[in-house]
Structure 1
Amino acid sequence: MADIHLSSISYVHGDPRPVAGLGEPGCDDERLSQDGLRDYRETTASSLEMACDVGAKTLAAAGASPDFVLYATETPQEGEDALSTNARLAVALGIPGTVVLNLAGHGCGNLGLLVQVADALLSRHPAGSALIVTADRVASGRGRMMTGPLSVLSDGAAAVLATREAPAARPALRVHGVAVRTDAQGGTADVSPAGQRRTVLLGRSAAAGLKEVTGLGPRDYTHALFNNYRLSSQRFLAGAAGFAAAQLVPGPVADHGHSFAADLLVNCALFARAGTFEPGARLALSATGPNSWALIDVEVVG
């Protein structure tokens, strides 16, 4: 099965706000800043509006008209259904004849689901490209401080073009494999001893699944990237999946907070711009949700 490629990442966040000013229980805990949390991002734009924004930016940068659009959000606007969302997204992107697939259900781990579906579509279908979009914002009245507190939720979106052929645009990521594992009994949001044990087992299962596909174990990767959780949580999750502490490369947690499933795409774009990774580096992208854990093996190209 041929590998797919990811390129032309775009992203958007809301405006920065200090975590300490949230007014929610635990937001003034001094340990949060020590553990990387400082600001969260807030916007009045809906998830769909952000999705249209980043999707258009990625298509413009790539100069492409995709065969599919794969969209995931856990926070649709009230009264918004998948049928109307799909139509609005396709029209807003100027591709009304493109098939839009509305995918979700893995929370902050939705990127793993999106990449796995893109891989399946492009590997077994004559289509040449798929636009991946994920966007989420915290609904009015919902708290932003996560359990633990695992992190603080931010409003943001990201998009990337997946192609069968290697793109001309650089930098790009070559996807060598994806493994998604689920456990409906609990996951990263459950901080009880039993919940932590389930998390460890889920991480090990995802790592074993990825090794079956790629032949690489956790210690074989150059770096491991996780969602923008507090640093202590990232270290715990890295260890649970079998990565060494030195492999972990945290993203800008202090600046962006945790933007649901957009974090990993945003961080890859930022690290690429900064020249953090050498061409040929193998990255394990870890996308975790409440009940799932996805690991994506990507190689930095150009």
Structure 2
Amino acid sequence: MNTDPGPAVHLSAIAVELGARVPIADLDDPSVTAEVANLHAGGLRYCRVAEQDVVELAATAARRTLAAAGAPAVDAVVHATDSPYRETATKDGWAVLSGAGVPTAPTVAVGGSASANLAAALRVATGLLVAERLDTVLLVSADRITDGARYQPVGVTVLSDGAAACLISRTPHGPGYRVLGVSTAIQADAVEVSNSLKAANLVKLGVTAARERLLADLPEPERGFRHLVTGHYSLATRTFLSRLCGLDLTAVHTPAVAEVGHSFSADLLLSLASLHEQGLVEPGDRVLVLATSPRSWSLIALEFTTGPAGADPAEDTAGHAAG
């Protein structure tokens, strides 16, 4: 058990760039067409389809984050994606840096966790702050479907194109969240099973393991969490995940499920931004973020903070970008 809280790390200045809104019933995608009724029943109505490639999505979200924060100095960039590279990890990273207007910032490419890449990227960004004594890291995650198949049976959802960015820093750039802890469980040798009970048991084992590790290191775990943020999955999946996290469905905050579909890590940052925009969090409120992939499960514990006096980057974040 680690009781040392370590240096303060803050997540702020969230911005999102999404593709155009398309009714899922209108998609020319046999994988979705066959499941439209189930998707509608689960609360999904639209997905986002982008004309921009994954690099352009990432750069746009990054520029919005930097503009919202007042163009702060950036010491490094963590670039996460689970999509095919336009060229290579290196060249795409350079293109994101150039497009974001920070061409001299060192960059690190992150992947390997699919829709849970936010947790992986956050761990890397936090490590950079601590190990290299940096002040501000730009985190950007972007994904775009290129093979045409948007239906995802894990979670019963439809995949969307989009990107999200934020700043990970020692002091917040406006209202945001202090990072209290991150915990990840992975089962890389898991195999897909058609038996829903076996699949649910795998998720249960992963989330439970991550939750136990998080709570063991979390300061004042008895305070609990006011909100739970998950990916944009079906209602049944979100209900199941909330119970695994020790909360009920009323705590789950995923207001854009119907309008956005599942846009990988952008879901999570979009929902975090909207908590503040909708006035649903107060300073000191704790928020639990569950970032999942078919073989990994991460929990992020956050505490809402107002940030420096007079700063409010949320005006150009999720609400603007998701319209």
Same-fold status (TM-score > 0.5) = yes
> Is the contact between residue 128 and residue 163 of structure 1 (CA under 8 Å) also seen in structure 2?
yes
- 1:281 corresponds in structure 2 to 285
2:75 counterpart (47, 55, 67) = 67
> Is the contact between residue 39 and residue 156 of structure 2 (CA under 8 Å) also seen in structure 1?
no
Q: Are 1:162 and 2:163 an aligned pair?
A: no
Q: 3-state DSSP class of the match of 2:107?
A: strand
Q: Partner letter of residue 199 of structure 2?
A: G
Q: Are 1:224 and 2:231 an aligned pair?
A: no
Stretch of structure 1 that moved more, 267-276 or 215-224: 215-224
- Cα pair distance change 1:69/1:245, threshold 3 Å: same
- 1:19 corresponds in structure 2 to 24
Q: Are 1:234 and 2:235 an aligned pair?
A: no
Task: Give the distance between the partners of 2:118 and 2:191, measured in 1 at CA.
Answer: 17
Q: Partner letter of residue 42 of structure 1?
A: V
Q: Are 1:9 and 2:23 an aligned pair?
A: no
Structure 1 stretches lacking a partner, 5+ long: none
Q: How does 1:152-191 map to 2 (within 5 A)?
A: 152-167=158-173, 169=174, 171-186=175-190
- Cα pair distance change 1:227/1:188, threshold 3 Å: farther
Q: How does 1:106-185 map to 2 (within 5 A)?
A: 106-139=113-146, 141-147=147-153, 150-167=156-173, 169=174, 171-185=175-189
- 2:274 corresponds in structure 1 to 270
1:36 counterpart (36, 43, 57) = 43
Q: Are 1:251 and 2:235 an aligned pair?
A: no
Q: 3-state DSSP class of the match of 1:293?
A: strand
Across the two proteins, how many residue pairs are aligned to each other? 298
Task: Give the distance between the partners of 1:272 and 1:241, measured in 2 at CA.
Answer: 22
How does the TM-score come out when normalised to structure 1? Answer: 0.92
Stretch of structure 1 that moved more, 280-289 or 23-32: 23-32
Q: Partner letter of residue 7 of structure 2?
A: A
> Is the contact between residue 227 and residue 264 of structure 1 (CA under 8 Å) also seen in structure 2?
yes
> Is the contact between residue 77 and residue 138 of structure 2 (CA under 8 Å) also seen in structure 1?
yes
**Displacement of 1:242 after TM fit?**
2.9
**Displacement of 1:300 after TM fit?**
1.1
In the TM superposition, what whole-angstrom CA distance separates every residue of 1:63-107 from its partner, at most 9, and x where no partner exists? 2121110011111345x1012112222222222221100000100
- Cα pair distance change 1:121/1:153, threshold 3 Å: same
Q: 3-state DSSP class of the match of 1:2?
A: coil
**Displacement of 1:30 after TM fit?**
3.0
> Is the contact between residue 177 and residue 296 of structure 1 (CA under 8 Å) also seen in structure 2?
yes
In the TM superposition, what whole-angstrom CA distance separates every residue of 1:192-239 from its partner, at most 9, and x where no partner exists? 322211110100011011112214559811111101111111111222
Task: Give the distance between the partners of 2:225 and 2:240, measured in 1 at CA.
Answer: 18
Task: Give the distance between the partners of 1:216 and 1:38, measured in 2 at CA.
Answer: 39
Q: 3-state DSSP class of the match of 1:112?
A: helix
**Displacement of 1:56 after TM fit?**
1.1
Structure 2 stretches lacking a partner, 5+ long: 1-5, 307-323
**Displacement of 1:241 after TM fit?**
3.2
Task: Give the distance between the partners of 1:205 and 1:268, measured in 2 at CA.
Answer: 24
Q: Partner letter of residue 298 of structure 2?
A: A
Q: Partner letter of residue 42 of structure 2?
A: D
- Cα pair distance change 1:290/1:254, threshold 3 Å: same
Stretch of structure 1 that moved more, 58-67 or 125-134: 58-67
Q: Partner letter of residue 78 of structure 2?
A: L
Task: Give the distance between the partners of 1:187 and 1:208, measured in 2 at CA.
Answer: 24
**Displacement of 1:50 after TM fit?**
0.6
1:205 counterpart (193, 205, 209) = 209
Task: Give the distance between the partners of 2:194 and 2:123, measured in 1 at CA.
Answer: 25
**Displacement of 1:142 after TM fit?**
2.8
How does the TM-score come out when normalised to structure 2? Answer: 0.86
Q: Partner letter of residue 37 of structure 2?
A: E
> Is the contact between residue 188 and residue 291 of structure 1 (CA under 8 Å) also seen in structure 2?
no
- Cα pair distance change 1:106/1:191, threshold 3 Å: farther
- Cα pair distance change 1:218/1:72, threshold 3 Å: farther
- 1:92 corresponds in structure 2 to 99
> What percentage of aligned pairs have identical amino acids?
31
In the TM superposition, what whole-angstrom CA distance separates every residue of 1:236-263 from its partner, at most 9, and x where no partner exists? 1222233333322233100000001111
Stretch of structure 1 that moved more, 254-263 or 112-121: 112-121
